[in-house]
């Protein structure tokens, strides 16, 4: 197991409670359909690893870990593992949110559509997290990125309607698969770029 994963999870326990709670609350408040919580979870899930890089830099944890002989790759891998854990937790909570919306509004809920949305959301979330991690390590300005991310999400929802966007993908498995592969390819590329950045930067 990654030597830093325990620290990553333990030091973000508050966020692990706050993020799922906010997913539930926003899902119910917005009530834009039962698939929205999954996409919302993807955005929220990306915020945690991003902010944890920022916190590590500010507190001096990264410098301490590297100085204490922890390989730089271990540090990057721990953040990507944190991303996976966060994404899983957020998607599980999003499912609860979706069920709540169905209960409240009595709208239709298709498991097939939900699965497609989850896959799409996870891939999108992984790409966003990777981008946030890369930017966090490369430019040390992740807080701004997170704000843009959230504002961008709100604007997207308001202007286009999340349900319509999801509708395009949920109608076509091939389109969803192509988009997911593209998201994962970008994630892989960003992982390599993050590793290169962390191997050559000072802490």
Partner 1 sequence: MGDFIVKGLRKTYGDFSLEIPELVFRRGFVTGVVGDNGAGKTTLMRCMTGAALPEEGSVDPGSPLPAGAVFDECPFPQEMRARQLSSIFSSMFDGWDDQRFRGMLKSFGIDEGKKVKEYSRGMRMKAQVAVALSHPTGILVLDEPTAGMDPAAREEFLDCIRDYMLDESSCVAISSHITSDIEKIADYLVFLKDGKVIIDGETSEILSRYGVLHAPRDSDICGSGIVRRRTGPHGCDYLVEGLEEFSAAHPELKADPVTLEELMILISKGEEA
Q: CA 164 from chain center: how many Å? A: 21
Record the tokens describing residue 158, joined without a space: 């308001």
How far apart CA 101 and CA 139 sit, in angstroms, is: 39
Select the residue interacting with partner 1 from 35, 38, 61, 134 (CB under 8 A): 61
End-to-end CA distance of the chain: 24
Contact between 149 and 46 under an 8 Å Cβ cutoff? The reply is yes
Give the binding range for partner 1 (CB under 8 A) out of 25-33, 65-73, 114-122, 152-160.
65-73
Candidates 45, 136, 55; CA nearest to 84 is 45
Residues 6+ apart with CB under 8 A from 24: 37, 93, 96, 97, 100
Residue 140 makes contact with partner 1 by CB under 8 A: no
Residue 164 makes contact with partner 1 by CB under 8 A: no
What is the footprint of partner 1 within residues 1-20 (CB under 8 A)? 1, 3-7, 10-11, 13-14
Q: How far is the CB of 67 from partner 1 (least distance, A)?
A: 4
Give the binding range for partner 1 (CB under 8 A) out of 58-66, 83-91, 131-139, 176-184.
58-66
| Residue located via tokens 């990553």 | 8
- What burial letters (b/e) apply to 157-188, b meaning 16+ CB within 10 Å? beeeebeeebeebbeeeeebeebbeebeebbe
Give the binding range for partner 1 (CB under 8 A) out of 28-36, 59-67, 82-90, 178-186.
59-67
Residue 66 makes contact with partner 1 by CB under 8 A: yes
DSSP letter, residue 72? H
Residues in contact with partner 1, shown as a per-residue x/- string from 25 to 54 under the rule CB under 8 A: ------------------------------
Q: How far is the CB of 18 from partner 1 (least distance, A)?
A: 13
Size of the site for partner 1 (CB under 8 A): 25
Residue 138 makes contact with partner 1 by CB under 8 A: no
Residue 59 makes contact with partner 1 by CB under 8 A: yes
Residue 203 makes contact with partner 1 by CB under 8 A: yes
**Where along the sequence are the contacts to partner 1 (CB under 8 A)?**
1, 3-7, 10-11, 13-14, 59-61, 63-70, 200-203
């Amino acid at each position: 197991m990654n030597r830093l994963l325990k620290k990553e999870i333990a030091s973000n326990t508050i966020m692990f409670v706050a993020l799922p709670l906010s997913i539930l609350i926003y899902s119910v408040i917005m009530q834009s359909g039962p698939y929205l919580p999954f996409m919302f979870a993807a955005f929220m899930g990306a915020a945690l690893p991003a902010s944890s890089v920022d916190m590590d830099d500010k507190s001096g944890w990264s410098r301490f870990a590297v100085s204490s002989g922890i390989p730089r790759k271990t540090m990057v891998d721990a953040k990507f593992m944190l991303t996976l854990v966060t994404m899983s937790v957020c998607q599980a909570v999003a499912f609860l949110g979706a069920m709540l919306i169905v209960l409240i509004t009595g709208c239709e809920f298709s498991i097939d559509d939900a699965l497609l949305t989850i896959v799409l959301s996870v891939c999108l979330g992984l790409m966003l997290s990777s981008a946030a991690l890369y930017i966090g390590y490369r430019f040390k300005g992740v807080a701004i990125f997170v704000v843009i991310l959230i504002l961008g999400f709100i604007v997207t929802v308001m202007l286009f309607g999340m349900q319509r966007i999801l509708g395009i993908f949920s109608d076509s498995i091939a389109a969803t698969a192509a988009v997911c592969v593209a998201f994962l390819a970008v994630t892989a590329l960003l992982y390599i770029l993050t590793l290169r950045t962390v191997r050559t930067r000072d802490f």
